[in-house]
Structure 1
Amino acid sequence: MIDRVRLFSWGGPVPPQVGTANASFGERRGILLAVEADGILGLGEAAPLPGLSRESVTDCAAVLRSIDWRSVDVPASVADVERGWGEAAELAACNAARFAFETALLSVAATRRSQPLSHLVALDAGLEPARAPIARSIYIGATNDPETVARARAAMSRGGKTLKLKRSAEPLQVTLRTLRTVRGVAGKGAALRLDANGSLEPDEVPAALEAYASVGVELIEEPCSGAALLSLGALAVPWFADESLADPNLAPKLLHHPHCAGFVVKPTLLGGFSSAVRITRHARERGLPVIVTHAFEGPVGLAACAELAIAVASCALPPGIDDHAAKRAFADWDVPQVPPDGASVEPSLRSGLGEPRDLGALVEVFQWTR
């Protein structure tokens, strides 16, 4: 039984390098959900990603306010929490709010069991959670960013083995020049990933991926946009579906696409742990990997993504769970699972989501008490 629910507004300006291949955004804002049950505090974060999420921060706040919290109970599993939000129809159409709802309630459930959230999620996924550090993919910037090469050097100096770049809207030769320079810095043993955020035209994709293969790009995420992905065949670089998985009409087709090599799982875009577990199960059945990554959320969302990555590590590639420049726009809280100077995601020894948090400095915008 839920005793108290609070919503806090948080977020602020972010550095200019934070953004997607198609757009940058000057700020990141969201809603922090705090749920209390039997003296246990569970936190969740709704931080829709501008340009990719279909809902707004205002939408998330309205949905979380509208829930009949008297009828919500602490779930026993991921499947159980999905049944819980099934009674709140608004959550079904608001993925970022659903992620916050599921994170907060599952964190309370895991704390009751004195286990990390990752263990509860792994149980539903039919997996064994990682017990040792997981090598993570380190985002080093856009292909047109003059600081990207310097970030590649810094990433390698802290033990990075997988580097990720975002493709900028630029001629192919410019992208290749950056990729070759980064390859020279990283060496042959490092994996390079490219995220196009759907920025290539469908007829550009085959030639571009042939060129990317020449510098050893390991995989490309979302090479073109939306339904155009369905026209792609087997290409020189394996391609993964990413933000198009958030489209309920496209997702089933992409999940069964014969040439899609894997799936990028962003809980903020997909609707939390329940959707992530479903996609992971499907990928396992097809023998395909997933990549868990964040959507530039604050520290609560980042910790939740890290717990998901720990839960599904046995059937996943190195997760895109790295400390990022937008995190401190929300709150200057450490995320022990993602040490900023490390190159691994570290399994937590604490129950629930990890570190206890002081909410005193945050701006409360809603409270419900039983």
Structure 2
Amino acid sequence: MALKIEYTPYRLFFKMPAITSRSVMHDKETYFVRLHDTDVPGVYGMGECAIFRGLCSDDTPDYEARLNKLCRLVNMGGISMSEALMQASSSVRFGLETAFADFMSGGLMKPFASPWSEGRTSIIINGLVWMGTATQMRDRIVEKINAGFRCIKLKIGGINFDQELELVKFIRKSFPSDKLEIRLDANGAFTADNALKRLDALFPYDIHSIEQPIRQGQFKEMAGICKQSPIPIALDEELIGTFSNDYKLSLLGEIKPHYIVLKPSLCGGFSDADNWISVAESIGIKWWATSALESNIGLNAIAQWTACHDTKVPQGLGTGALYTNNIVSPLVQSGQSLRYDVSKQWNIPDLNWLK
């Protein structure tokens, strides 16, 4: 097998600004990779190295140069594909794993085949409500509920907390917890000093969980919050990077969250995400998967990987409609269901592939 890798940069443009407690995004940089075997002409496996500037562990000024170097090493026979995967940073590993799995499956954009990728099942997803003004967020909540979502995820921490609390009250006034699940994502917007007070204020409204109430890296403080919080805590940013299984077990064993949220492009690729699941389940911690603003190429891979796991909880895979220039794909979102429509085709634009 004589594998060759090519890559190309691609910039995604948001339909409207994407606001979190960390930043406001108008566009997003990403890189596509494709892999082929010179002995098997015409078959290409494709993936996405979905760098997330300002958040991912491999956000470096020389990101493209490092990707280029890794590709050249493989292309010149300096290292094997397995060695490249071991050396790759999180988002690059995510892209290369996808491309390799896709190539081995025949290059049909089905890296992780399952009944879902054959169009026979659907994945239930949460309705993501981005930050904005209180009025904008209220309108978006109504829009998601009217679209048929039964699990709403609100990003909080961008406006006054009292206003965010009023939004939660607004939802619960009309929709009890047996009709609508509310998830919150603070993206580390609370502090160790005010987190428990705010969690107590949210408790009466039957919140399913809250992701990353305080910024990552505060292990002792997060452990205390998990122990005392009246609302289940989910770790998200805490998982970013590539770590050994011993570290994973130590981290989860110390903090003891109720859930972990897996973003494969940020937490070490699919191999590390699988390891996170094994470690978490061994100590009774549940999980779900979330996309990290990938294009439809990365989102498709995450959805196919998720569908291969026996999980029935709503997943965070509803980001495909965020961009004006996303890759045209068979991914179809209808209300809270994400499906792979086998009657539709991928439409990959002409790209300038670099070696």
Decide: shared fold, TM above 0.5: yes
Query: Where does residue 77 of structure 1 map in the other structure?
Result: none
| Inter-CA distance 46–247: structure 2 relative to 1 (3 Å threshold) | closer
Q: Distance in 2 between matches of 1:159 and 1:8?
A: 37
Please list, as runs of the form range in 1=range in 2, the aligned pairs for 1:41-190 lying within 5 A after superposition. 41-56=44-59, 59-67=62-70, 68-70=73-75, 71=77, 85-86=85-86, 89=87, 91=88, 94-111=89-106, 116-119=110-113, 132-142=121-131, 144-184=133-173, 186-188=175-177, 189-190=179-180
Which residue identity does 1:366 align to in structure 2? L
Q: Offset at 1:58?
A: 5.7
Which of 230, 240, 243 lines up with 2:223 in the alignment?
230
Please list, as runs of the form range in 1=range in 2, the aligned pairs for 1:234-313 lying within 5 A after superposition. 234=227, 235-247=229-241, 251-257=248-254, 259-312=256-309
Q: Deviations over 1:74-129 (max 9, x none)?
A: 9xxxxxx766522xx3x1xx2111111111111112337x8943348x9xxxxxx9
Q: Deviations over 1:140-171 (max 9, x none)?
A: 22274532222222222332111101112444
More deviation in 96-105 or 38-47? 38-47
Q: SS state of the match for residue 35, structure 1?
A: strand
Q: Offset at 1:65?
A: 1.6
Q: Distance in 1 between matches of 2:113 and 2:180?
A: 30
Structure 2 gap ranges (5+): none
Query: Where does residue 8 of structure 1 map in the other structure?
Result: 8
Query: Where does residue 25 of structure 2 map in the other structure?
Result: 25
Q: SS state of the match for residue 18, structure 2?
A: coil
Q: SS state of the match for residue 152, structure 2?
A: strand
Q: Offset at 1:327?
A: 3.5
Which residue identity does 2:104 align to in structure 1? A
Q: Offset at 1:31?
A: 0.9
Which residue identity does 1:141 align to in structure 2? W
Question: Retained in 2: the 8 A contact 1:60–1:97?
Answer: no
| Inter-CA distance 347–341: structure 2 relative to 1 (3 Å threshold) | closer
| Identity level (%) | 20
| Inter-CA distance 116–349: structure 2 relative to 1 (3 Å threshold) | farther
Which residue identity does 1:209 align to in structure 2? L
TM-score of the two chains, using structure 1 as the length reference: 0.81
In the alignment, does 2:334 pair up with 1:334? no
Structure 1 gap ranges (5+): 75-80, 123-128
Q: SS state of the match for residue 95, structure 2?
A: helix
Question: Retained in 1: the 8 A contact 2:260–2:287?
Answer: yes
Q: Offset at 1:243?
A: 1.1
More deviation in 245-254 or 177-186? 245-254
Q: SS state of the match for residue 227, structure 1?
A: coil
Question: Retained in 1: the 8 A contact 2:226–2:232?
Answer: no
Question: Retained in 2: the 8 A contact 1:137–1:320?
Answer: yes
Q: SS state of the match for residue 18, structure 1?
A: strand
Which residue identity does 1:321 align to in structure 2? L
Please list, as runs of the form range in 1=range in 2, the aligned pairs for 1:342-361 lying within 5 A after superposition. 342-346=335-339, 355-360=345-350
Q: Deviations over 1:214-251 (max 9, x none)?
A: 11111001111123223423311100110111156775
Which residue identity does 1:193 align to in structure 2? R
Q: Deviations over 1:44-73 (max 9, x none)?
A: 112221221133486442233212224499
Q: Distance in 2 between matches of 1:263 and 1:82?
A: 27
Q: SS state of the match for residue 267, structure 1?
A: coil
| Inter-CA distance 29–326: structure 2 relative to 1 (3 Å threshold) | farther
Higher relative contact order (CA 8 A, sep 6+): 1
Q: SS state of the match for residue 329, structure 2?
A: coil
How well do the aligned residues superpose, as a CA RMSD in angstroms?
3.1
Which residue identity does 1:269 align to in structure 2? L
Question: Retained in 1: the 8 A contact 2:45–2:99?
Answer: yes
Q: Distance in 1 between matches of 2:60 and 2:120?
A: 35
Q: SS state of the match for residue 281, structure 2?
A: helix
Q: Offset at 1:335?
A: 4.4
| Inter-CA distance 243–165: structure 2 relative to 1 (3 Å threshold) | same
